[in-house]
């Protein structure tokens, strides 16, 4: 098998990274993917950086065993704290996280330089988005805040409706709603980064809460474009083939299939999900 035909490895703490996989498959329809969801140990977003780094290294090594030509850390939390460690360990293929592409897109999208990031606790605490944005735009002002309930809402399938609306308002009104915060009127961020795998599922609700003017950066989309550019410039993009997907999980194949189907927007049979141990 030539390198071009090798699969792309993608991992996440669970099903959330399927939003990234969906965007990748749309950008790269000829590629085969091996997706690993560490469902036995999710969530990563509330765990210490040391633990997330350890888990990320194990997931990356497991995928390296499938002969991948590129590794995508689809999880924002694992990218935020673990990208350097994973790149050091898996040094023979490109390792791409979701933070840098998201930060780059936010810097390009923002006029004022005032950028908000919503993510898990672990991603916000690690400061990776904040650093990646300020490194690219020294004039930037970043408001980063954890929005952990969005993860649960997306997994419950409560992406629209009154519960999702009130959670969105709870997190976003203090930053974006001028009625809520008189200072927000003039100086609220003009760009919002969805810095968690689950948040694109709630993009309509989030859009309604922030209003039509704010630019929303979906890190899944921006990462997929970045991966395509990286493969093309490294001469690693598949030239033929119909694509393909192998799904691996560390626990609960049934739940992965049921919830993952919503994220991937196609049915997943639980027999399609192979259980692996890390
Ligand atoms: N995949 C995680 C992220 O993007 C969200 C779920 C979790 O906390 O594990 O940060």
Q: Is 263 in the pocket of ligand 1 (CB under 6 A)?
A: no
Q: 183 falls in which pLDDT band (50, 70, 90)?
A: low
**CB 41 within 8 Å of CB 15:** no
pLDDT at 178 > cutoff 90: no
- CB-based contacts of 3, cutoff 8 Å, min separation 6: 69, 236
- DSSP 8-state code for residue 29: T
pTM over the 0.85 mark: yes
The pLDDT of residue 177: 85
Residue 219 or 162, more confident: 162
Closest ligand 1 atom to the C-alpha of 123?
10
pLDDT at 276 > cutoff 70: yes
Residue 260 to residue 118: CA distance in whole angstroms: 22
Q: 271 falls in which pLDDT band (50, 70, 90)?
A: very high
Q: 181 falls in which pLDDT band (50, 70, 90)?
A: low
The pLDDT of residue 189: 96
DSSP-assigned beta bridge partners for residue 193? 117, 217
Q: Is 6 in the pocket of ligand 1 (CB under 6 A)?
A: no
Q: Active-site residues: which are they?
A: 75, 196
Total length of the chain: 278
Closest ligand 1 atom to the C-alpha of 16?
1
Q: Determine the residue of 19, 76, 250, 260 to mutate for testing ligand 1's pocket, defined as the one with the most ligand atoms within 8 A of the Cβ atom.
A: 76
Region of residue 272 (phi > 0: left; psi between -120 and 50: alpha; otherwise: beta): alpha
pLDDT, tens only, 14-66: 999 999 999 999 999 999 999 999 999 999 999 999 999 999 999 999 999 99
148: CA distance to ligand 1 center in Å? 9
The pLDDT of residue 179: 78
Instruction: Please name the helix (run of DSSP H) or strand (run of DSSP E) that holds residue 248, with its range, or none.
Output: strand 244-249
pLDDT at 3 > cutoff 90: no
198: CA distance to ligand 1 center in Å? 7
CA nearest ligand 1 atom 8, residue: 45
């Amino acid at each position: 098998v030539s390198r071009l035909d090798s699969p792309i490895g993608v991992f996440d703490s669970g099903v959330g990274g399927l939003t990234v996989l969906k965007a990748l498959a749309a950008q790269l329809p000829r590629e085969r993917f091996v997706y690993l969801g560490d469902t036995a140990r999710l969530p990563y977003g509330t765990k210490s950086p040391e633990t997330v780094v350890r888990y990320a290294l194990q997931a990356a090594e497991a995928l390296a065993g499938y002969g991948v030509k590129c590794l995508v850390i689809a999880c924002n939390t694992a990218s935020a704290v673990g990208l350097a460690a994973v790149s050091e360990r898996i040094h023979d293929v490109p390792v791409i996280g979701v933070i840098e592409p998201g930060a780059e897109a936010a810097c390009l999208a923002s006029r004022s330089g005032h950028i908000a990031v919503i993510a898990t606790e672990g991603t916000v605490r690690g400061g990776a988005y904040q650093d990646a944005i300020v490194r690219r735009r020294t004039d930037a002002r970043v408001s980063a805040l954890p929005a952990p309930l969005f993860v649960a809402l997306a997994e419950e399938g409560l992406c629209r409706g009154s519960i999702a609306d009130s959670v969105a308002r709870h997190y976003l009104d203090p930053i974006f709603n001028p009625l809520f915060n008189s200072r927000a009127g003039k100086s609220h961020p003009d760009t919002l980064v969805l810095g968690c795998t689950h948040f694109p599922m709630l993009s309509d609700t989030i859009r309604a809460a922030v209003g039509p003017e704010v630019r929303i950066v979906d890190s899944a989309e921006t990462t997929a474009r970045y991966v395509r550019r990286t493969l093309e410039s490294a001469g690693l993009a598949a030239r033929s083939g119909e694509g393909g997907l192998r799904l691996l999980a560390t626990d609960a194949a049934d739940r992965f299939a049921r919830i993952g189907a919503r994220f991937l927007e196609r049915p997943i049979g639980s027999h399609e999900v192979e259980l692996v141990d890390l």
